[in-house]
Structures are given as structure tokens and as C-alpha cells.
Structure 1
Amino acid sequence: MSAKWLKTVSATLALTLGTTMASAETLRAVTDPSFVPFEMMDQDSGKMVGFDMDILAEVAKRAGFDYKLNTMDFNGIIPALQTGNVDIALAGITITDEREQIVDFSDPYYDSGLRLLVKKGDDSIKTVDDLEGKKVGTKIGSTSYDYLTKNIEDDDGVTPYPGSADMYMALMSGSVDAVFYDAPNVGYFARTKGKGRVTTVGPLYEGQQYGIALKSGSKWLDKVNEALASMKEDGTYKDIYEKWFGPMPEDQ
């Protein structure tokens, strides 16, 4: 085996490896920093953690892209994708017909809905019908805000907040009578910081599904769907789900 041949092989391998390492595209990813337990800031590490963050990391690895993560208010995410300033987003984003006209969605990866939260012991509010004339907090740009404005005749008391922490604080302080928002986030608050002080009431409204949002025409859509499918098939999705939510329902 000649030294010249070895040198040629080594150079070829180096070029191949270099091309492979350089071929991983870096996508501009974004999330909303206040949708626990889907995404939240870990105070010790200063990094974003949560269910969506684990899903994103695993999907990126399987689909073959790198990503640089930034945060923004939820109501700015869809416009950022629409203008092409962002490539991919995970933030508990509900798949809707309106949103599908301007961004691409992956296959659904989480089943959700909307739920009411009130102060413990408040029997005056049991369903959305009881919100007429009441002050109710929700989140700017969310499907819960859309639902309230469409289904409450007297919606002057509907107050949109920029972050979920703001509306929960408003409920605790008495500034609003109820909060109406995504069920997993409402339930998580009721089990943690609001335990013993607030409670969920009423049925689950508007069965919804969350999807990974990509800018329209993204070449990564099929690979993202393939990654999600393989995660569900080999049990990785189940492991991530149960890390953040406990036992996974059979229909999830």
C-alpha cells in the first residue's frame, strides 16, 4: 500500500467528512418563552426547556438540521414565519384553517383544547356561558381569545395578556374573574403554582391539535413528519410526553 495512495484516500475522506459536516443546514427556530410546561426558561442554566424543546431537539437530530433558537411573544410567531424571518416554530401552536393558509404545519404532535380556570371556591363560573359580563383573561393572538370574542355576546371584559404568567397573576389578584386558555397550560398552573388557590372548571372546549409550524414551502416539512412518525413508532415520543405530563393517554 503506497504512501501516495494512502495520502489520496485520506484527502478524499477528509473532503467527504468536511462536506457532510458542513451540509447540516441551520434553521432559525423560535418559541414563546412562557407556555409551561411546553417551553420555559430554566433559571439555573439560562436555557429553554420543556416538552416542545425536547421534541424540537429530537426532530432536528432525525431530520438532519441544526437550529438556532430565539424567543418572542406568541402573537409574533406566525407573522415571523409568514415573512420568512423564521424557519420553524414550536410553541403549542394550534393548527387552524386560517394559519394553514400562510404557514406549513407538520402532522399533529399533541392533542389539546381550551379550559376555564377560576379561583377556588368560586361557584359563579362553571361554563363559558357564565362569562357574560365577567372579566376574563386570555392570551394575545391565541385561539382561546378568538373563541371568547366569537362566543361571548358581551365581550368587553375579555382581556388579552402578552404572557400566561400575566393572566394567572391577574386571576390571583382579582383583576379578572377567570382565565380561559389552552388546557395543558391551565392544568399545569393549577397543579403547581396555583395549587389550592385555583381550580379548572367546565368541559374541554374546542378539541385542538398542535403542530410544528414552518415557513410556507419549507423543504423540511416531509422530513419533520418522518421524524415525528419514527419517534412515535419507537417510543421516544412516549418517553418525552411522560417526562413532562405523566402517563400518556392511549389516544395521544
Structure 2
Amino acid sequence: MLSRRALCAAVLVSLGAFASPAFAAELPDLGGRTVTVVSENTYPPLQFIDPSTGEAIGWEYDAVAEIAKRLNLDIEYTTTSWDAMIQAIHDGQYDMAMNGITIRDDRKAMVDFSEPYMHSEMLMLARGDEDRFDDAESFAAFEDGLIGSQPGTTPFYTAVYEVLDGDEQNPRIKLYETIGAAIQALRIGDVDLALTDSTAANGYVKVSNGALKLIGEPLGAEDFGFIFPPGSDLVAPFNAAISDMAADGTLDALNQKWFVDYAMGQ
């Protein structure tokens, strides 16, 4: 996922951009097949619960809805925890998962990934009035500093190996069930730092009214993909639709909508 500034520069089409018939005609028709999609709904702006309506919304919901339209699919959504998600997909409990899932080799041993639909950088969040540290090095030297993180995620491993000492049991890392809970812990002072990708980080800062800020430099990059049970026949059609949407500007339009124009809680 691109940073907010990069996204603004990258958007070359209007929000009204959708697939042309020439693109859509090349995609397979899956005949109204029902596909069960699971997410956690805790990862704004990719997928989350709108605080004003209680509705599940986000970039990934819009993207999957567009993919379903192009491939003639009927999508049924459900939720599960992140801890259970990859195993559940591996076991075939669901047809696909969308959760801002980083494409990694260890996960490829469990599930099949789509082609990347988004590229992101890992960013550090601190409270807006934080003056004891301003980057990863100074935080590591601040021995009383605590990091809030969700176990088993890319932010967790980045915190362990790029901010701290490589010890996954380091007591300076406090674990939370969701990234949202870790961010809330940061806001109220239970921890001093949280890591997330630029997708969520810029959104959290934007709606915090100065309570949160970004510090330091990005700590690496990652690609996001949808995941499927091993050998799923949905991977190729989804890849074709993602490529189609990149070519006709739809992905850029979704970036504009969710990373530039959307304001949570407004």
C-alpha cells in the first residue's frame, strides 16, 4: 500500500472509473457461483465496521464486489479472528479471505495467494505529544517503552526483528487480539508505540485529531493478496479480474476513495 502522499500522486483517474466492456468480455463467467469470503473487519480502511452505521465496509469490500460483478459471483461474507483465519482457509472452511494479508513464503505453504492487489510500507505510530523518542533506534534505546501488537502479524515480526532485539518473547511487546485494540492501548497510554502498514496508519492519524502521529522512516514494504484453499480454482479468475481492474483504473479509483477522500466517523 502506498503512503497517503504517494497515493495522491498516483491517482490518475476519477472515482467513476469502472471496467469497460472490452476488459470485462475477456473474463470468465462463473455462472453465479456462491463464494464464501471471511475477514476480521478490524483493519480500516480495508475492511471495518462503519461506526456510524454498523455496516461492514472498506476497500476490500468494494474490490471484491467489483470482482464478483465481473466474474458473475454471489458473495457471502462472514467473520473470524485473525489467529484462526489462515488455518480455516487451509482447511477449506471458506473459499477466500480478505484481511490485508501480507504475501509471505511461510503462508504460501498453507494457502494459495492471489497476485498482489496492493503494496504497503510499515509505519510506526506514537502519541501526538511523544517526545522521548522519534524513530526506531531511539525507541529501542528507551528501555521503558512498550509496543502494542497483534501476534502472528507482519507488524509483530517487524517490531521484534527491526525495532527490538529479535526475541519474540520480549516483554516490551504487549499483545492484543486486534490492531484496533493495540491502537486504543497506544492512545490511552498503556503502550508507547504501535506498528501497522501505511494503509491503516495514515487513516488512524487522520481521524485522531492530533492524538497520534507517525515517527521515523518506513520499516520495509509488503504486498497484500487474497488467500484461498490450496489448489482453489478461484485463484486464476480472481487474478484476471485484479489485472483487469488495475488496467482500467478501478484500483486507482478505490485508492482515491478510501485513502484520500474517506474520513472515518464523518
TM-score, normalising length: structure 1: 0.84
> Aligned with 1:216: secondary structure?
coil
CA distance in 2, matches of 1:169, 1:45: 21
Q: What's 1:137 paired with?
A: 148
> 1:239 aligns to what?
253
Q: Deviations over 1:96-130 (max 9, x none)?
A: 11111111111111111211111123232222233
Return the offset for 1:22.
9.9
Looking at structure 1, the residues matched to 125 and 30 of structure 2 have their Cα atoms a distance apart, in angstroms, of 49
Amino acid at match of 2:93: N
Count residues in correspondence: 226
1:231 counterpart letter in structure 2: M
Residue identity (%): 26
Structure 2 counterpart of 1:169 = 184
Asked if 1:191 corresponds to 2:206, the answer is: yes
Alignment pair present for 1:101 and 2:115: no
| Contact 2:31/2:72, CA 8 A, preserved across alignment | no
Q: Take 1:139 and 1:186, find their aligned partners in 2: how far apart are those partners?
A: 15
Alignment gaps of 5+ in structure 1: 1-20, 248-252
Aligned residues of 2:30 and 2:71 also touching (Cα < 8 A): no
Q: Which has the higher contact order (CA 8 A, sep 6+)?
A: 2
Report the Cα distance in structure 2 between the residues aligned to 1:216 and 1:22, rounded to whole angstroms.
19
The offset of 1:177, in angstroms, is 0.9
SS of 1:203's equivalent in the other structure is coil
What residue in structure 1 maps to residue 21 of structure 2?
A: none
Superposed, which structure 2 residues align to 1:193-232 within 5 Å?
194-232=208-246
**Corresponding residue for residue 14 of structure 1:** none
Taking structure 2 as the reference length, what is the TM-score of the superposition? 0.79
How far apart, CA to CA, are the structure 2 residues paired with 1:237 and 1:181?
A: 21
| Distance change in 2, residues 1:22/1:243 (3 Å) | closer
Paired residues for 1:75-90 under 5 Å: 75-90=83-98
- Counterparts of 1:129 and 1:72, CA distance in 2: 36
Structure 2: 5+ residue runs without aligned partners?
1-28, 262-266
Distance in 2 (CA, whole Å) between partners of 1:131 and 1:79 is 34
**2:56: which partner in 1?**
48
Cα displacement (A) at 1:63: 2.4
